[in-house]
Amino acid sequence: MVFYCLVRNDQTNTVHARTIYLIEIFLIQVFFAFSEIIIGLLNLRFSSFIYYIAIGIICSILAYLLVNKKYNKGRGQEVVQKYSELISRRKVLLVLLGISLFIVAFIFLILNGMLMSYLFSLHE
Amino acid sequence: MHLMSISGRTGDNGGGGSGDGNKLGKLISTISIPVGTMQTGFETANVLKAGLKDIAIGAKVLGKASDILAVASIGHDFATGTANTSTLLNGFVLVGGAVAIGVIGVAAAPWVAGFGVVYGIGSLIFEKPLNNAFDMSGSINFIKPSN
């Protein structure tokens, strides 16, 4: 619902597709943040950028599988129904919550990067 | 096959009329529109819908690629001890672009791509001055740079 409120209706019937896309973008960041902890714990020091892209692609596939399992067509209709019942003030609150979620996910990603760096330093 | 065509005589005024009729027929058949060229509204809408779907898929791929590159570059910089202000800014711009496509719609995709190109060229010039001006590598890296 939070992500659905974020998406602007541009009259192209892509609102649900873009909601799924935003959830995937959010999940990729969260999954990669957890991957950083695992990389740090296992002390897997990849010097090549390609390995990190590969991890990002794996996170993307995981996010795709998870979202497509949870957010099917029936769920989409349920969200539309709930959205139509919301008052405008609550919609604004949900939009702000959605933006905050993305900012928090980005900060979480950076903090986990620092944690990974710290975990690497313990092995030096 | 043509939408409009004239065959035979258009006017019969003795022997001379048949030649004019043939000329007129040829002229009209030359400038006539072949059947299938003009499409009805429904067919046109279907064609546009398919085009829009392609653009939407392209925008999604662009956004996801941008997000994967952002997280990978952040991970790489922290793992090699080279993270700095430019790392955070690059990640913010890439993730921001990906989110903008989702929020605004496929119409934002060309703008995001254009901004990405301009930012990429700009970062080649301004990355070092930015890192020198706001150097935070000492506080966010716990390991020494490996490359």
Domain boundaries defined on chain B: 1-38, 41-140
For the four alpha carbons of B68, B70, B72 and B73, in that order, the dihedral sign comes to: positive
Q: Do B142 and A109 touch (CB under 8 A)?
A: no
Amino acid occupying residue A45 = R
Averaging pLDDT over each range in A2-6, B6-10, B114-118, which range is the top one? B114-118
Global pTM value: 0.74
Q: Do B78 and A8 touch (CB under 8 A)?
A: no
Which residue range(s) make up the domain with A91?
2-122
| Orientation of helix A49-70 relative to helix A15-42, angle to 10° | 130
pLDDT in tens, B12-33: 444 445 556 677 677 666 666 6
Q: Do B79 and A45 touch (CB under 8 A)?
A: yes
Adjacent-strand bridge partners of B2: B34
Q: Do A10 and B104 touch (CB under 8 A)?
A: yes
**pLDDT per residue rounded down to tens, chain A (124 residues):** 777 777 777 766 677 888 888 888 889 999 999 999 999 898 888 878 899 999 999 999 999 898 888 776 667 777 777 777 777 788 788 888 888 888 999 999 999 999 998 898 887 7
pLDDT in tens, B56-114: 777 778 888 888 888 888 888 888 888 888 888 888 888 888 888 888 877 788 888 88
List for chain B the helix, strand, coil content (%; round to 5). 75, 0, 25
From the candidates B53, B57, B62, B68, which should be mutated to test the interface with A, based on the most A CB atoms within 10 A? Answer: B68
DSSP element (H, E) containing B35: none
CA-nearest residue to A12 within chain B is B52
Chain B contact present for A23, CB below 8 A? no
From the candidates A49, A100, A103, which should be mutated to test the interface with B, based on the most B CB atoms within 10 A? Answer: A49
pLDDT over threshold 60, residue B6: no
How many domains does chain A contain in total? 1
